[in-house]
Amino acid sequence: MSATPARRVALLTLGCARNEVDSEELAARLDAGGWQVSTDADGADVVLVNTCGFVEKAKQDSIETLLAAADTGAKVVAAGCMAERYGRELADTLPEAQAVLGFDDYPDIAARLDGVLAGERFDAHTPRDRRELLPLTPVHRQAAAVVVPGHATVDEHTPAHLRQVLRRRLDSGPVASLKLASGCDRRCAFCAIPAFRGAFVSRDPQELLAEAEWLAKTGVRELVLVSENSTSYGKDLGDPRLLEKLLPQLAAIDGIVRVRASYLQPAETRPGLVEAIATTAGVAAYFDLSFQHSSEPVLRRMRRFGSTQRFLELLDTARALAPEAGARSNFIVGFPGETRGDVAELVRFLSAARLDAIGVFDYSDEDGTEAAGLPGKVRADTVKRRYDRISALADELCAQRAEERLGSLVEVLVDTIDDGEVEGRAEHQAPEVDGSTTLVAGDAGVDLAALRPGDLVRARVTGTEGVDLVAVPVEMVSAAPTVSTAAR
């Protein structure tokens, strides 16, 4: 009897780290369903694109990736946020895709791709507000039978810490994201994410610890905690301080040398959480704070809280506990009603905040958001001018902040080694979104040629290139363990 030909699927991921975790859940489901999974579209029978639907540029990138996938001759399937957000509309405008699948299709993803390969056509879903699928009261959400990507439970009758981890890593690097929660209960006027990601749902802490231990066994050295709003973690589990308790537990896992919390809402960042991030051994003193603006009138129209003064006080509190703490944030310019005075207030804040990394976005209307219907739209040429100005200022200020670190000691996790160039990240540098640190040879006792990805070294900063650092390693803090291929 001849063997069944292998079915090959390429899983391409766009967008944020949360999507990367979702893709690894999909990879595990597909692997269990008999599919060979890779991230290389060459020779694939099906290309599954986990799309991003956050802002216009991300949506355009998703469309271009889907069209490029179709050019390979493989069958193309769209999943992820853009597919969930637009459903049938996307399917009608993109005939190149054989299927547009929503989150509810994820548990049966292997069967869906089997059907696609067999020539079946699937009716795309009609999008709905996924917040309405879960109870209004957070503490009642855990029992709801709703598909939430990244929250799959293989066997609900088995204790969380003993359950099989439904995840397959798609790369072998020393850093991996760990999804704390999904969805969001905030109502920011510019953001459509809650409508297609749903209301906020935390993951069981024992399940998180089990997954973190599994990741460590595959060679992961740094855990990046991700969600739409990490500061809400635990509120639906009856303990809004749960993240403060979870951080030291994660940091204590054998093999993990750094835990990094991301996606913090300033209005929910309590003093206890600031202290936990700033002072817990093994937790990066790193504050990824979603400020978005600093002018009070703009923030109120955004349905957000805070001000220049309150944000500076929050940063001061963190730096009083950890003087070298890293901090980053994103900002939107050109929001409806923004005035020259509001921009001047944002400039005042940025100039005083000493942020290590700043992301700047020019405002654009998003389907289904409150802001799309607000009066006082700022002219497109004015938005561009403000965007260019704030972006240039951000580059200058972040470069200055990097220069402040000259001569200091930083702990660098080695990420990659390519043609002898050793690249890593210091504690204040998150993967992808911030700068990096290049390690160079010096007179100290660390052999640069002997370093491997996953090594944690202490290094002295000797130079800067914009937000990036150049540093000489002076001692090994923790060498990466040898990981067997079976563990992966």
- pLDDT of 89-112, one tens digit each? 999 999 999 999 999 999 999 999
399 and 412 share a domain? no
Tally of domains within the chain = 3
109 and 172 share a domain? no
User: 487 pLDDT band (50/70/90 cuts)?
Assistant: very low
Does any domain span residue 488?
Answer: no
What's the CATH number where 464 sits? 2.40.50.140
**Cβ contact 441:299 at 8 Å:** no
Q: What is the DSSP string of 431-471?
A: TTTS--EEE---SSS--GGG--TT-EEEEEEEEEETTEEEE
* Mean per-residue pLDDT over the chain, rounded: 92
262 and 154 share a domain? yes
**Cβ contact 396:368 at 8 Å:** no
Stretch among 6-10, 59-63, 424-428 having the lowest mean pLDDT = 59-63
pLDDT of residue 308: 98
User: 4 pLDDT band (50/70/90 cuts)?
Assistant: low
229 and 318 share a domain? yes
For residue 6, CA distances in Å to 10, 36, 135, 261 come to: 13, 7, 42, 40
| CA gap 19, 13 in Å, rounded | 7
Query: Residue 208: left if φ>0, alpha if ψ -120 to 50, beta else—which one?
Result: alpha
Q: What are the residues whose beta carbons fall under 8 Å from the beta carbon of 253, sequence distance 6 or more?
A: 209, 212, 213, 216
Name the residue with higher pLDDT: 41 or 487.
41
400 and 440 share a domain? no
Our CA dihedral for 249, 277, 263, 143, rounded to 10 degrees, sits at: 30
Is 398 marked as binding a ligand?
A: no
User: 156 pLDDT band (50/70/90 cuts)?
Assistant: low
- State whether the Cα torsion 354-355-356-357 is positive or negative: negative
Q: How many CB atoms lie within 10 A of CB 118?
A: 8
Q: What pLDDT, in 10s, does the model give residues 290-314?
A: 999 999 999 999 999 999 999 999 9
Q: What is the DSSP string of 27-72?
A: HHHHHHTTEEEES--TT-SEEEEEE--SSHHHHHHHHHHHHHHHTT
Is 184 marked as binding a ligand?
A: yes
pLDDT of residue 157: 66
167 and 278 share a domain? yes
230 and 92 share a domain? no
Q: Decide: pTM greater than 0.75.
A: yes
Q: What pLDDT, in 10s, does the model give residues 191-240?
A: 999 999 999 999 999 999 999 999 999 999 999 999 999 999 999 999 99
The structure tokens listed for 6 are 């292998």
What's the CATH number where 70 sits? 3.40.50.12160
| CA gap 150, 23 in Å, rounded | 9
Q: How many CB atoms lie within 10 A of CB 449?
A: 8
Does any domain span residue 413?
Answer: yes
Give the range of the structural domain holding residue 111, as residue numbers without chain letter. 8-126
Look up residue 384 and give its amino acid: K
The residue out of 95, 126, 157 marking a domain boundary is 126
